[in-house]
């Protein structure tokens, strides 16, 4: 109560959450919002790029592309045309712990979207030619995002590869081109059969619909799909890091050096996890953040600093396994990485040696609250669907969305200090020095 008063006594926005599971294991979350006559349909499968065949890096992502190449009743391009011709947009993405597919359509087309998603959950109808085509497309995606860009994949693709020791967390998840090109259609179909089943998925519907009607559609189209026997989840754990890791990588396309540093996160949903969420706000989010003031304003090392939890691939609410908090900046060659790290440490050390000021903590709680509301608003409610589907898949509890603020409110200055001491330890971090200009050896610095 006291904490609420400190936050200005503002009324919390409560997200409607209707949650149930079909007999075949599909987790369903409904969240009506009648602001506009649109509806988001988001289907999340609990298979991310961590878990892909070891000799097929990038396979989970290549597979995501294949989900657009044809199903029992929709041929190649027909899924895309169906959504587009009904006035909607669609996409899919592959992340650490899930692969998602979503459509935003006029509200009266909810049934159409559910029918189409169920159709491709039932089975793929793809050809070698489709696969070859998407290997070309994905190869070009890797080129445009990584191989032909200065700072390509910096730091989001690279820093997990240095910071983690478990293959599932430390391989190149965009994929080596040779692995992407080597994939065969029977591998695609096997991957589908293994992971694309109702008991490995969560469906979130957000927008202008009537829950009873939506339940009927869900039952009609997803109810008959049989569940499957899921393989055991491999051990994804990372050991406690005891020694600082320093890595260097040469970027032949970059003309200014860059620097990234990352720390392993506390386990999800612990008091320390919520404290790290607030530490992230304090350290790098916004012009008022401590590292921005130190590195950008005071020393002028860089024009900006970016970072976060699960940075560039999501946020602190949409992953399940081991994770990093990271920060990065591009700087001039006249300043060394050690000098920048020494300034950063002066800020981080101060959080470890005394409790944070209440005013600073309160400010960052407000920023977090605003961030959560922002996520909920994004993309006609897709951001809300993203949180609901993840909380259903990872915690079997999408109503958690309404408890987040309370968790952040219960973080005390002591929790912040304790969390900073254990998780912002130098021996828990990886520093990646990104060298500009020099010709890289074939395999990079790995």
Partner 1 sequence: MILRLCLVACLACLAAFGQQKEQPPEGGPPRPFHLPPAQDFTLANGMQVTLVQYGIVPRVAVRAYVNAGGINEAAHQVWLSRLTGLLMKEGTKTRSSEQLAAEFADTGGSLEIEPGVEFTTVGGVALSDHAGQFIKLLADVLENPSLPASQAARLKADLARELAVAKTQPDDLARERFLNTMFPDSPYGRVFPAESDLKGYSAEDAAAFYRENFSAARTHLYVAGKLEGNLRETIRAAFEGWSKGAETASVSANPVKARSFAVIDRPDAPQSTLYIGLPVAGPNNPDYIPLDVMNTLLGGSFASRITSNIREQKGYTYSPRSQISTRTHLAYWVETADVTTSATGPSIKEILYEIERLRKEPPSEAELKGIQTYLAGLFVLRNTISPDAVIGQLHFVDSQGLSRSYLSEYVQKVMDVQPAAIQAVTEKYLLPDKMAFVIVGDKAKIAEQVKPYETATP
By CB under 8 A, the residues from 393 to 422 that bind partner 1 are none
Q: Does 147 bind partner 1 (CB under 8 A)?
A: yes
- Please identify which residue in 29, 33, 389, 428 interacts with partner 1, judged by CB under 8 A: 33
Half-sphere exposure of 368 (CA within 13 A, CB side): 29
What residues numbered 167-226 form the site for partner 1, per CB under 8 A?
A: 184-186, 189, 208
* Stretch touching partner 1 by CB under 8 A, among 17-25, 35-43, 161-169, 225-233: 35-43
The tokens for 319 are 């992953």
| Number of residues assigned to the chain | 446
CA dist 25 → 28, 100, 222, 231, 354 (Å): 9, 17, 10, 15, 48
Question: And the tokens for 249?
Answer: 């990588």
**Distance between CA 275 and CA 291 in Å, rounded?**
17
Query: Which alpha helices (H) appear in 301-336, and where do they start and end?
Result: none
- Measured from the CB atom, the residue of 236 and 399 that comes closer to partner 1 is 399
For residue 219, what are its two tokens? 């039952």
Give dist(CA 328, CA 334) in Å, integer. 17
Among 54, 108, 438, 444, binds partner 1 (CB under 8 A): 108
Distance CA 293, CA 82 (A): 49
Nearer to partner 1, 13 or 167 (CB): 13
What is the nearest approach in angstroms of partner 1 to the Cβ of residue 26?
19
Shortest spacing between CB 430 and partner 1, in angstroms: 24
User: Of residues 54-93, which lie at the interface with partner 1 (CB under 8 A)?
Assistant: 72-77, 80-82, 84-90
String of contacts with partner 1 for each residue 269-288, x by CB under 8 A: -----------------xxx
Give the containing element (helix H, strand E) for 44. strand 38-45
Q: How far apart are CA 254 and CA 260, in angstroms?
A: 15
Record the tokens describing residue 120, joined without a space. 């491709």
For 47, the token pair is: 């298979």
Q: Which of residues 112-141 bind partner 1 (CB under 8 A)?
A: 112, 115-116, 119, 125-128, 132-141
Size of the site for partner 1 (CB under 8 A): 91
Residue 113 or 313 with smaller CB distance to partner 1: 113
Q: Residue 268 or 373: which CB sits closer to partner 1? A: 373
Task: Give residues 347-386 in contact with partner 1 (rule: CB under 8 A).
Answer: 363-364, 366-367, 369-370, 373-374, 376-380
């Amino acid at each position: 109560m006291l904490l609420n008063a400190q936050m200005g006594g503002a009324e919390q926005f409560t997200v409607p959450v209707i949650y149930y599971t079909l007999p075949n294991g599909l987790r369903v979350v409904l969240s009506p919002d009648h602001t506009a006559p649109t509806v988001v349909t988001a289907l999340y499968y609990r298979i991310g790029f961590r878990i892909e065949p070891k000799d097929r890096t990038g396979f989970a992502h290549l597979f995501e592309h294949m989900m657009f190449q044809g199903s029992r009743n929709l041929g190649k391009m027909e899924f895309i045309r169906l959504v587009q011709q009904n006035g909607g947009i669609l996409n899919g993405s592959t992340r650490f712990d899930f692969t998602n597919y979503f459509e935003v359509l006029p509200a009266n087309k909810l049934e159409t979207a559910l029918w189409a998603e169920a159709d491709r959950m039932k089975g793929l109808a793809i050809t070698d030619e489709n696969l070859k085509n998407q290997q070309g497309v994905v190869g070009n995606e890797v080129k445009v995002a990584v191989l032909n860009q200065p700072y390509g994949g910096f730091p989001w693709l690279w820093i997990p590869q240095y910071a983690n020791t478990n293959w599932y967390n430390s391989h190149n998840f965009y994929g080596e081109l040779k692995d992407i090109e080597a994939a065969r259609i029977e591998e695609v179909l096997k991957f589908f059969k293994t992971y694309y089943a109702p008991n490995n998925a969560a469906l979130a519907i957000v927008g202008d619909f009537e829950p009873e009607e939506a339940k009927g559609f869900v039952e009609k189209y997803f109810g008959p799909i049989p569940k499957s026997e899921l393989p055991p989840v491999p051990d994804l754990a990372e050991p406690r890091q005891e020694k600082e890791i320093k890595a260097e990588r040469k970027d032949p396309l970059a003309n200014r050096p860059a620097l990234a540093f990352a720390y392993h996160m506390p386990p999800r949903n612990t008091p320390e996890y919520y404290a790290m969420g607030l530490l992230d706000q304090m350290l790098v989010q916004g012009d008022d953040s401590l590292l921005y003031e130190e590195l950008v304003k005071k020393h002028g090392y860089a024009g900006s600093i970016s970072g976060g939890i699960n940075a560039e691939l999501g946020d602190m609410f949409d992953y399940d396994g081991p994770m990093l908090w990271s920060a990065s900046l591009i700087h001039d060659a006249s300043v060394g990485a050690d000098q920048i790290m020494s300034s950063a440490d002066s800020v981080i050390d101060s959080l470890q040696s005394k409790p944070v000021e209440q005013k600073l903590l309160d400010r960052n709680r407000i920023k977090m609250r605003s961030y959560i509301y922002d996520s909920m608003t994004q993309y006609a409610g897709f951001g809300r669907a993203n949180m609901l589907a993840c909380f259903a898949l990872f915690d079997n509890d999408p109503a958690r969305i309404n408890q987040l603020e309370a968790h952040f409110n219960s973080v005390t200055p002591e929790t912040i200090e304790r969390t900073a001491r254990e998780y912002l330890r130098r021996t828990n971090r990886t520093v990646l020095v990104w060298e500009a200009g020099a010709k890289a050896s074939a395999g990079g610095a790995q």
